[in-house]
Chain A
Amino acid sequence: MERDEFLQIRGLCKSFHGTEVLKNITTSFVRNEVVSIIGPSGGGKSTFLRCLNLLETPTAGSVIFDGVDICAKKKDINLHRQKMGMVFQQFNLFNNVNVLHNLIDAPIRIKKTPRDQALEKAVGLLERVGMAERAESYPYELSGGQKQRVAIVRALMMDPEVMLFDEPTSALDPEMIGEVLDVMKNLAEEGMTMIVVTHEMRFAREVSSRTIFLDGGRIEEDKPSHELFDHPESPRLVSFLNKVL
């Protein structure tokens, strides 16, 4: 089978007020792979992820998604974002509506999904993440782990082709990290394409098929996860792994 590089990043650069955060990043992602992005804080991991769905506008370079350069002007970015689910560190559930409406409103309004169909899907997904009985709860009534599981479902409601996770467990109390990682692990096993910025080295090593080490705005190393963790080459990666493992 031909490698379907459905998401390609070419020469991506990003500066904030003259500070270069990403320096000429080129890589690509294939369907069904799970990629972890690790690296020290300030290395540009989150910025890289946020450039993929243009929450940050790249300074230079292009993001080619399903054969379309989504950085080009006049591209309907809203359409592309529907196919790229995103999960945030701070959950960002919509505070003004309950869990169910967090899930069904966007599909109904944007994709014109019939209401009963959206409801059925929402209930099914909530069940799978163990949140079925909290459908009527408001976000402030949920724990961090519960919020994050709902946030993952919210992204899944749009039937994304790829899921972007921006440090999904970093704002969680330690005892809640497991429940979120389990959901992500299940998702990976079902074949969802995932790009995960994470500090969870065990997740990177055991769940993701490939790991990218991003430091100083550059891809320092990009290899199958086991290889990267067992045989790190660049000295920066070696010293990073020594600190975190």
Chain B
Amino acid sequence: MQFFNDMALLFTRYNSFFTEGIRNTLIIAAFSVLIGTVLGTLMAMMRMSRILPLRLLATAYIEFIRGTPLMVQLMFIFYGLPMIGVTFPEISFIPDFSRFAAGIVAMSINSCAYVAEIIRSGIQAVDSGQMEAARSIGYSHWQAMAYVVLPQAVRNILPALGNEFVTMIKESSIVSVIGIADLMFRTRDVIAVTYRTMASLAIVALIYFCMTFLGGRLIAWMERRMSHGKG
């Protein structure tokens, strides 16, 4: 019982720490997924391109990013790039912009590879007969894509993309190692001040769970709405 009291006490007293952390975590996850989706779409198109060099490049990128830890990628961007003269600028009215930029860039690069695979498999899951039928009545390849294949692929892609967003919320905790004041970082602050390690971690676990669980429900709900009336 004492433990739960501790948790409640910590949560109310350090409320501002947790709220700031949640806000930053969501900002990073949202931007990363957004940028990752745009880049991932392009990457998926390259991956399925008829031009061999593009296809090879995209395949190599996707395999490499998926095969290395996000932590390493993040360190490369934040510590490595400045060493070769690439720095993120500071913007006066956004505090800590360069850190955030590095975090978002690393997460986007990472997300891009996963999103590309989601989109590719979503498109390839559409029966090839659909494309053939569209071509056979005179649609061009791109018309067939736009009118027939993609509308069906979107129904495979969106749920998986939602899951990717949920994953990003969890994975983004890693940016705390480069000093971004996300939820995990702020939790460590609370631990440093109070020495209540277990209670603090329990709180943060609960918060992460709430975010991912709600996110998951939201996606499931959207999925149901989309499949309404379709076979």
Contact = CB atoms under 8 A, between A and B. Distances in A.
Nearest to A155: B137
Contacts of A105: 147
A94 B134 contact: yes
A183 B213 CA distance: 54
A158 B129 contact: no
Given A88-B129, A95-B231, A140-B231, A82 B151 contact: no
B63 interface: no
Contact of A81 (B137, B147, B148, B229): B137
Interface in B84-126: none
Interface in B122-148: 127, 129-130, 132-140, 143, 147-148
A78 B139 contact: yes
Contact of B138 (A55, A93, A95, A158): A158
Contacts of A72: none
B132 A109 contact: no
B132 A78 contact: no
B148 A96 contact: yes
B137 A85 contact: yes
Contacts of A96: 148, 151-152, 230
A151 B148 CA distance: 15
Contacts, number: 72
Contacts of B139: 78, 106, 109-110
- Say whether chain B's binding surface is mostly helix, strand, loop, or mixed: helix
Contacts of A158: 137-138
A39 interface: no
Given A78-B138, A106-B138, A154-B137, A55 B152 contact: no
| Interface range on chain A (Cβ under 8 Å from partner) | 20 to 34
Interface residues of B, number: 20
A109 B231 contact: no
A106 B136 CA distance: 11
A86 B136 contact: yes
A92 interface: yes
Contacts of B133: 86, 88, 92-94, 151, 154
B129 to A, nearest CB: 4
Nearest to A160: B137
Interface of A: 53, 55, 78-79, 81-82, 84-86, 88, 90, 92-96, 105-106, 109-110, 138-141, 151, 154-155, 157-158
Interface of B: 127, 129-130, 132-140, 143, 147-148, 151-152, 229-231
Given A78-B140, A82-B137, 9 more contacts: A55-B136, A88-B129, A92-B130, A94-B133, A95-B230, A106-B134, A110-B138, A110-B139, A155-B136
**4 closest pairs, A vs B, by CB?**
A140-B231, A82-B138, A92-B133, A92-B129
30 contacts: A55-B135, A55-B136, A78-B135, A78-B138, A78-B140, A79-B138, A81-B136, A85-B137, A86-B133, A88-B132, A88-B136, A92-B127, A92-B130, A94-B134, A95-B152, A96-B148, A96-B151, A96-B152, A106-B137, A110-B138, A110-B139, A110-B143, A138-B229, A138-B231, A151-B133, A154-B137, A155-B136, A155-B137, A157-B137, A158-B138
